[in-house]
Amino acid sequence: MKAKVSNDPVGLIAGWGRFPIVVAEALKAQGRQVYCLGVKDHADPELEHLCDDFQSIGVARLGAAIRYFRRQGIGQATMAGKIHKILLFQKFYWLKHLPDLTFVRNFYPHFITKTQDRRDDTMLGVFVDAFGKHGIRIAPATDFAPELLVRIGQLSGHRLTPGQRKDIEFGWKLATEMGRLDIGQSVAVKGRAILAVEAVEGTDECIQRAGELCPAGGFTVVKVAKPQQDMRFDVPTVGMGTLRSMAKAGARVLAVEADRTILIDEPEFVQFAHRHRISVIALKDGAITSWADAA
């Protein structure tokens, strides 16, 4: 369901990266008031000046987050930006962020009794449901900034070689299955051999690992949405950080899913890709029939 066009204030839960800034700018351009909760150790300080109100909050302060939005009269909020999941496994990290009673009640089966898993979809679903119980609907960030979704086509680079096309098809199937299992979004391949797959560490680290294992470079990175993708959270996102990691590692092709991947700072992104001879292509379903549209 699309976010309704209105002048109601919007809540923003901001993680790491440029994505929250771009969403806040889009909301302000629409004349909306933006009340932002910036996750500690993640959110960019620029948000404090961009939003109507900003509050830094620990990742485990779920009750405090809900109370903040309710005080501001927020009925609709959105999430943008990455949470560095690897931090969540550091010793005493949760204690540092002082879990409140609401967090403990909702996540008790995941962290205390460990009777429930801690996959992304599971954890984020609990998070979203907790807000919903208090009348705060979490909407996809792309409802407010649909222009961020990448369109089908080749954004940069030369026409792909037959080998690169085969690598994309091969990697697409693998990445889709990884998504179905809620493992990760990205895979790096060369010559239809798997170099690296993304797990909790993230796409940039996956690319870095592929470069270390294939110092000759020339490999392909495929990043797709999950078959069961909930567009409210953990949507595949690429930006300058992705391309910088690829350039450093020697990757030559990036294939993403059209209409289900967020592209940050597109003009700068395309210029950088051209300059570093990285081919970027957005496809629908990775199907062979889409090559004619995307080439």
Asked whether residue 290 carries a pLDDT value surpassing 60, the answer given is: no
Q: Which residue type sits at 80?
A: A
pTM (2 d.p.): 0.86
Are residues 96 and 199 both part of a single domain? no
Q: Domain residues for 96?
A: 10-144
| Span 13-22, average pLDDT | 96
Are residues 281 and 175 both part of a single domain? yes
Averaged pLDDT score across all residues of the chain: 89
Are residues 81 and 155 both part of a single domain? no
Residue 232 — pLDDT band, cuts 50, 70, 90? very high
Beta bridge partners of 80: 14
Q: What are 175-204's pLDDT values in tens digits?
A: 999 999 989 999 999 999 999 999 988 999
Structurally, the chain folds into a number of domains equal to 2
Residue 1 — pLDDT band, cuts 50, 70, 90? very low
In-domain check, residue 1: no
- Name residues whose C-beta falls within 8 Å of residue 134's C-beta, 6 or more positions apart in sequence: 66, 70
Are residues 103 and 232 both part of a single domain? no
In-domain check, residue 140: yes
How far apart (Å, rounded) are the C-alpha atoms in residues 191 and 108? 45
Are residues 111 and 153 both part of a single domain? no
